[in-house]
Amino acid sequence: TPLSLIRNFSIIAHIDHGKSTLADRLIELCGALTKREMKSQVLDSMELEQERGITIKAQTVRLTYPAKDGKTYILNLMDTPGHVDFAYEVSRSLAACEGSLLVVDASQGVEAQTLANVYQAIDANHEIVPVLNKVDLPAAEPEKTRAQIEEVIGIPASDPEDAVEISAKTGINIEGVLEALVKRLPPPQGDAAAPLQALLVDSWYDAYLGVIILVRIKEGSLRKGDKIRMMETGATYHVDQLGVFSPKMTPVESLGPGEIGYINAAIKTVADCKVGDTITLDNRPAPAPLPGFKPSVPVVWCGLFPIDADDFEKLRESLGKLQLNDASFHFEAETSAALGFGFRCGFLGLLHLEIIQERLSREFNLDLIATAPSVVYRVFKTDGTMELLHNPADMPDTSLIERIEEPWIKASIMVQDEYLGNVLALCSERRGVQLDLTYVGNRAMAVYKLPLNEVVFDFYDKLKSATRGYASFDYQMDDYEESDLVRISILVNHEPVDALSFIAHRSAADMRGRAICARLKDLIPRQLFKIAIQAAIGSKVIARETIGALSKDVTAKCYGGDISRKRKLLEKQKAGKKRMRQFGKVEIPQSAFLAALKMD
């Protein structure tokens, strides 16, 4: 295909504004799938994505579109996730494309992640085509949304030519989107005869084929059988299979400049495939790699431990496979006094953490305990050294600490005027400092500096409930600042449970300590003896709860002689046992560990 007939684009939007639905319509209109094969949200192939209705992995698909100008174009579409935790996936998709479709829900208007995504697209030098979605809704206000896009984002949108009005759900004007793509996005550039430079955009593990790599060819060409070299790691492989997603995996003989496709090359070492690396030909290497993109920095860490110690190696292998599929996820081996051998894992946010945990349990069938999520602190010691601390259990003795610094973020929150009061109260409760407050129509945009530590646990949930789901939120890392932080230990039956200890600001220590004890009281099942639950700073107890003793016979509450019901209860109890962790004499359910740390 000549370059002039190729268009590569991402779909970017705030969560729920309709990216995945639009992708479905584009695939349908281009006839890539038959009606029978078409199910809704085809690109959200992960079970978890379908269930939660969110896009986690950026997906790609090649479409063929016969345009009104009589020419047939190849369109490579990349769907991207909208949630703040997955910004890294977005940046990778953008690096593989020349343009973006900016989807804005015309009944909601511009939201915080609309802005965050647009800024990323502008940074990537993208041509941006605004699309006003959901015009079928009575509440849609396309004119107002056009004005907002011009005013807040600063790209032309007032003309019908500038921003396309569609309904991804009912299929109104999908052709208008395709025509705009073809007319307005620049074709890719590159020289098919130049030495190969292919950007490694993504990689994942396929149960049948092994490691699959997604590439965007920038310069040169790649053929089946070629010997490729990863420029950063130096690893070499023979290309067994080359193909494109249409959206089914479809083998091709070669890929040229501007094309996006996959490579299957019997790769054994997961670490050889670094996302952002440049792939070249071994016998004719490119003089220099492509600029690549910024490596991701995990901001939240927690320990993951197998409930069954025999699962340790399986966990290591599974984490390796997940990392291949998710370059923003980090892990290293760790041991805990209470939990044994496990891994310290780094994430981009709490949703990211939950998703990884759920994938480990569903896709790899692993039962795990997650310890309290922690941000990365800087501990300056009296001997003049500095330690990066991301495990509360490793906090040095207070006598050795000169000062501690914690990370802050800069957050933008957009919300209807009527909920602004709740948002400001939440931010100040979390030690926030207001930097700016402006208005876009009847919506306020508050910019706050907040300690990340106050945001990771449950800020997003809190914000949603304080605004009936209307607020949108986005953040960037800011700087480190000195802070009065203490470690709070949790003792169950007078034994410290290192997996539950956490670091908090001194002003919040009592409140959080009390909240966790109260939660654990509900989360730990009653046992045959009384259990004390305490929170302590050093040796000083700051909160206490007691769980009363109970008879263990669960069948006692079954009156009458229903044997099958009794058996069911006993079986349920047996299954429950497997998901428990023994601490001294006390069994704590796995689900208690993360649940205990979420605040009301």
In one-letter notation, the amino acid at residue 482 is E
Could you say whether residue 17 binds ligand GDP (CB under 6 A)?
Answer: yes
Could you say whether residue 169 binds ligand GDP (CB under 6 A)?
Answer: yes
Q: Shortest gap between Cβ of 99 and Mg ion (angstroms)?
A: 19
43 or 424, CB closer to Mg ion? 43
Could you say whether residue 137 binds ligand GDP (CB under 6 A)?
Answer: yes
Q: Shortest gap between Cβ of 167 and ligand GDP (angstroms)?
A: 4
In one-letter notation, the amino acid at residue 492 is V
Measured in whole angstroms, the distance separating CA 268 from the mean position of its chain's CA atoms is 26
Among 168, 414, 508, 531, binds ligand GDP (CB under 6 A): 168
Distance CA 295, CA 274 (A): 10
Could you say whether residue 18 binds ligand GDP (CB under 6 A)?
Answer: yes
Distance CA 549, CA 473 (A): 45
Three-state DSSP class for residue 586: strand
Can you read off the two tokens belonging to residue 166? 């569609």
17 or 581, CB closer to ligand GDP? 17
Distance CA 345, CA 329 (A): 7
* Residue 137 interacts with which of ligand GDP, Mg ion, none, CB < 5 to 8 Å by class: ligand GDP
Residues 26-55 binding ligand GDP (CB under 6 A) are 53, 55
Residues touching ligand GDP, count (CB under 6 A): 18
Q: Which stretch binds ligand GDP (CB under 6 A): 161-169, 232-240, 307-315, 356-364?
A: 161-169
84 annotated to a ligand binding site:
no
103 or 217, CB closer to ligand GDP? 103
Distance CA 353, CA 374 (A): 11
Tokens 């829900």, located at residue: 105
DSSP code for 551: -
Between the alpha carbon of residue 544 and those of residues 129, 489, 540, 589, the distances in Å are 58, 12, 11, 20
18 annotated to a ligand binding site:
yes
Among 7, 9, 10, 20, binds ligand GDP (CB under 6 A): 20
40 annotated to a ligand binding site:
no
Among 127, 136, 367, 405, binds ligand GDP (CB under 6 A): 136
Q: Shortest gap between Cβ of 110 and ligand GDP (angstroms)?
A: 14
Can you read off the two tokens belonging to residue 457? 């646990």
32 or 450, CB closer to ligand GDP? 32
Torsion of Cα atoms, 331 then 333 then 335 then 340, to 10°: 90
Please choose, from the candidates 67, 79, 98, the residue with its C-alpha nearest in 3D space to the C-alpha of residue 179: 67
Among 82, 342, 392, 432, binds ligand GDP (CB under 6 A): 82
Can you read off the two tokens belonging to residue 348? 């981009």
Q: Shortest gap between Cβ of 294 and ligand GDP (angstroms)?
A: 24
Distance CA 25, CA 65 (A): 13
Please choose, from the candidates 112, 79, 81, 116, the residue with its C-alpha nearest in 3D space to the C-alpha of residue 97: 79
Among 5, 16, 187, 495, binds ligand GDP (CB under 6 A): 16
By rule CB under 5 A, what string of x and - marks binding of each residue 13-42 to Mg ion?
Answer: ------xx----------------------
Torsion sign across C-alpha atoms 152, 157, 163, 166: positive
Distance CA 287, CA 106 (A): 47
Point out the annotated binding site for GTP: 16-21, 133-136
**Which residues sit at the interface with Mg ion, rule CB under 5 A?**
19-20, 55
**Which residues sit at the interface with ligand GDP, rule CB under 6 A?**
13, 15-21, 53, 55, 82, 133-134, 136-137, 167-169
